[in-house]
Amino acid sequence: MVASSIFILDSRGKTIISRNFRGDVAMDVINIFKQRVFEAQDDSQITPFFRHDEKGITFIHIRHANIYLVAVTRRNSNATVILTFLYKLVQVFTEYFRDVHEESIRDNFVVIYELLDEMMDFGFPQISESKILRKYITQDYRVSESTGVLPVAATNAVSWRSEGIKHIRNEVFLDVIEKVNILVSGSGNLLRSEIVGKLVMKSYLSGMPNLKLGLNDRLQFEASAARGGPERKGKSVDLEDIKFHQCVRLAKFENDRTISFIPPDGTFELMGYRLNTQVKPPIWVDAVIEQRPTRVDYIVKARTQLKPRAIAKSVKIAIPVLPDVDTPSFKCTSGRAKYAPEKDVVVWSIKQFKAGQEAVMRGHFSLPSIGKAENRENATKRPISVEFEVPYFTISGLQVRFLKVVEKSGYQAAPWVRYKMVAGDYQIRMS
């Protein structure tokens, strides 16, 4: 990746901050970007990447809140890497200033210039971890006494972790969080089901610990058996689209599916994955609408399809209603219902929904004698949306088999593992 320059623009296209790293492009080239983006008649014409052939340059940009971050390159660079760097810039700014918008950029332009100079050298990315940057660039604009000396983390393979970290209690927490995306047709057919998971780690470990993680990944089982290890029994999972934090040793993983790493200190996302698989919807919802000239009745039935002892918590079922209803009344066998007129929905909330449980909500509304038939018909085409979380449970069956911590000082660390499933884009169309 090589970026010639970086620009930060406000919502009107005015340059707030700019930095020319290589000197091979004129700084007025940003006017080409402004003409392309701010004068576009249609948002579909605006893409993250576009090339200006006459100048021989490429623009890569992202938008965050009311600012634009724009990178310009003359080389045949990896545009995806540059895009990732721009998102990393936003992440670092957020960790420094909390809220990243036009005002915070203007208020902190001095430290932003310092961050840009530390994070990129002659167009090449350098240090991008805020925990390392904070040691050399402080928010009160004072530079530490070690200025001019490269931090240790920048000169070795562990740029995400400083040396000399100490904790009174050495602990590591691992959360396995799975989000299930569901789309069900009005006839009850499952149109889409997808599991998007992530492993979030909180590491409070002293020194430079080496961690090794084992999952019930099918390919990991096969790799272990090929090395002469014991045959693994039990359910295994086929993980797809795996992405790791930079701390994971990718060569080791590609060789034998072993997940080994030196973790950053604090909270970070260790791993993300996806399973494009057929799953039974954890919560099923049926809705019947009975419309009369002056009233409309809703009968909504919900049931859980979870494994025994699993409990869905904080369940919210949003049922779309006609836009001109009034005088609502509800009866629920479980939970409570509330009409939200600003969204034209009824929100049915259930604190706890046990496996195999069924519940019914009946809603009654009055209708004005005159109403637009088109608006009422469109309202019935909106899907039911469902929110929930199920602790101590993963719908894919993914399990952590072991989490080992080894550090040269020999201290004993306590690893903790938790599981949770949540609803993602979970929609059920009404018949």
Asked if residue 146 has pLDDT above 50, the reply is no
Beta carbons of 176 and 394 less than 8 angstroms apart: yes
Lowest-pLDDT range of 35-44, 135-144, 288-297, 394-403: 135-144
Higher confidence at residue 273 or residue 43? 273
Asked if residue 147 has pLDDT above 50, the reply is no
Helical (H) or strand (E) element with 223: helix 218-226
Name the phi and psi angles at 377, rounded to 5. Answer: -70, -40
Q: Note the pLDDT of residue 144.
A: 36
Look at the block and give the residue holding tokens 């869905």: 312
Average pLDDT over residues 149-154: 50
Lowest-pLDDT range of 47-51, 297-301, 317-321: 47-51
CA–CA distance, 160 with 157 (Å, rounded to integer): 9
Tell me if domain 5-155 and domain 171-279+395-428 are identical in fold.
Answer: no
Q: Please work out, in degrees rounded to the nearest 5, the angle formed at the alpha carbon of residue 6 by the alpha carbons of 116 and 42.
A: 140
Percent of the chain at pLDDT exceeding 90: 55
Lowest-pLDDT range of 37-41, 60-64, 263-267: 37-41
Taking only the tens place, the pLDDT of each residue in 269-302 is 999 999 888 899 999 999 999 988 889 999 999 9
Give the residue extent of every domain in the chain. 5-155, 171-279+395-428, 283-391
Q: Regarding beta strands 336-340 and 345-354, do their DSSP bridges make them parallel or antiparallel, or are they unpaired?
A: antiparallel
Taking only the tens place, the pLDDT of each residue in 208-252 is 999 999 998 887 777 666 666 555 566 888 888 899 998 999 888
Average pLDDT over residues 371-386: 73
Name the phi and psi angles at 123, rounded to 5. Answer: 90, 0
CA–CA distance, 129 with 138 (Å, rounded to integer): 14
Higher confidence at residue 198 or residue 229? 198
Q: Note the pLDDT of residue 396.
A: 92
DSSP per residue, 257-293? --EEE-PPSEEEEEEEEEE------SEEEEEEEEE-S
Residue 220 vs residues 200, 238, 275, 430: alpha-carbon distances, Å? 20, 10, 16, 42
Band (pLDDT 50/70/90 cuts) for residue 389 is very high
- Rounded to two decimals, what is the model's pTM? 0.67
As its CATH architecture, domain 5-155 has 2-Layer Sandwich (3.30)
Instruction: Name the CATH superfamily housing domain 171-279+395-428.
Output: Mu homology domain, subdomain B (2.60.40.1170)
Q: Is the dihedral of CA 140, 142, 148, 154 positive or negative?
A: negative
Asked if residue 155 has pLDDT above 70, the reply is no
With 0-12 CB in 10 A as exposed, 13-18 as middle and 19+ as buried, what is 361?
Answer: buried
DSSP per residue, 31-60? HHHHHHHHT-SSGGG--SEEEETTTTEEEE
CATH number for region 283-391: 2.60.40.1170
Rounded mean pLDDT of the chain? 87
Asked if residue 419 has pLDDT above 60, the reply is yes
Q: Note the pLDDT of residue 72.
A: 94
Higher confidence at residue 377 or residue 24? 24
Taking only the tens place, the pLDDT of each residue in 360-374 is 999 999 988 665 555
Asked if residue 85 has pLDDT above 70, the reply is yes
Q: Note the pLDDT of residue 370.
A: 65
Residue 193 CB contacts under 8 Å (≥ 6 apart), including other chains: 180, 181, 182, 183, 277, 278, 279, 281
Give the three-class secondary structure for 352: strand
Q: Note the pLDDT of residue 176.
A: 97
Q: Note the pLDDT of residue 230.
A: 56
